[in-house]
Structure 1
Amino acid sequence: MDTYTLLRHFADSWALAAMTAFYVGAILWVFRPGSRKSHDEAATLPFRYDSTPMAPGATETTDQSPKGKA
């Protein structure tokens, strides 16, 4: 049996089964019962340090100068 036929047989059987098992495992991991808290935290991560909304027409500025020098 040459290498191509051996690899083709492996890809058609065991590799397909492994990819299917990985896919089912990933879906089960995402929808497991205790994952709601971590998904909610990840969903609100960009807004973690926002305390109040920015005023209309205001621009966000950051002070990059060292303290006491400018």
Structure 2
Amino acid sequence: MSYDALRHFADSWGLVFMGATYIVLVGWHFGPRGRRHSRDAATMIFRDTETEADNG
């Protein structure tokens, strides 16, 4: 495969693949499971302080 053929493929189908991957990954967070995982990740740093406050 020559450089020109590889460049043409990357400019056309590579761009389509990267755009579709981006849309899927961003859209993942708006689904019910993704929203829950995102919320859990965002509040993860507060878990230890909540349990220490409840115990102390």
TM-score band, normalised by shorter chain = 0.7 to 0.9
Runs of 4+ in structure 1 displaced over 2 angstroms?
A: 33-37
Higher helix share: 2
User: 1:15, 1:8 → 2: CA distance?
Assistant: 9
How many positions carry a matched residue from both structures?
A: 51
RMSD of aligned residue pairs (Cα, Å):
1.7
What per-residue deviation string (whole Å, max 9, x for no partner) do you get for residues 6-55 of structure 1? 11111111101100110111111111134332222111111112132xxx
User: 1:32, 1:45 → 2: CA distance?
Assistant: 20
Q: TM-score when scaled to structure 1?
A: 0.60
- Runs (5+) with no aligned partner, structure 2: none
- Runs (5+) with no aligned partner, structure 1: 53-70
Percent of aligned positions that are identical = 43
Q: TM-score when scaled to structure 2?
A: 0.72
Give the structure, 1 or 2, with the largest relative contact order (CA under 8 Å, sep 6 or more).
2
